[in-house]
Amino acid sequence: MISKAALKDLEQINAIEQQVFNTDSYPPFAIRQLFDISGDYFVVAKDEDKTLGFVIGGLHVSENKGWVLSLGVHPDGRGQGLGEKLTQKHIELLKQANCKEIGLTETIEGSYKPQSTTQGSF
């Protein structure tokens, strides 16, 4: 099930973030801050009470630009299309907010490089 993240999900989200990104992961306090400011753009994939994946994003309203800040899938959830489903849910939410562009932060050899796209129906 894909839904908005809840405060009780953060412990499992932190574990996935650290497992996926290792030394490049957001620290727990940053995940909590992102939870507080991301609102509807912090989404999880769950199987009952187990969080299998998440996407953290945001929207810069005055620029109509959305962001994907982090996306992670637990090894138990891989191979099920959860990364794609989380991404599609995030795009759907951004489209509902009239977003025209999505930026992506990606790690390349330990450094972050912001990217953006207007491909697709943006």
pLDDT attached to residue 112: 42
The string of pLDDT tens digits covering residues 88-114 is 999 999 999 999 899 887 655 444 444
Q: What's the pLDDT band for 62 if we cut at 50, 70, 90?
A: confident
Across-strand partners of 30? none
Query: pLDDT at position 111, please?
Result: 41
Q: Which residues pair with 53 in a beta bridge?
A: 45, 73
pLDDT of residue 122: 46
Note the pLDDT tens digit of each residue in 7-52: 999 999 999 999 999 888 999 999 999 999 999 999 999 999 999 9
Max alpha carbon distance in the chain (Å)? 38
**What predicted TM-score, i.e. pTM, was given to this entire model?**
0.85
**CB-side neighbour CA atoms (13 Å) of 109:** 0
The domains located in the chain, with CATH, are 2-117 (3.40.630.30)
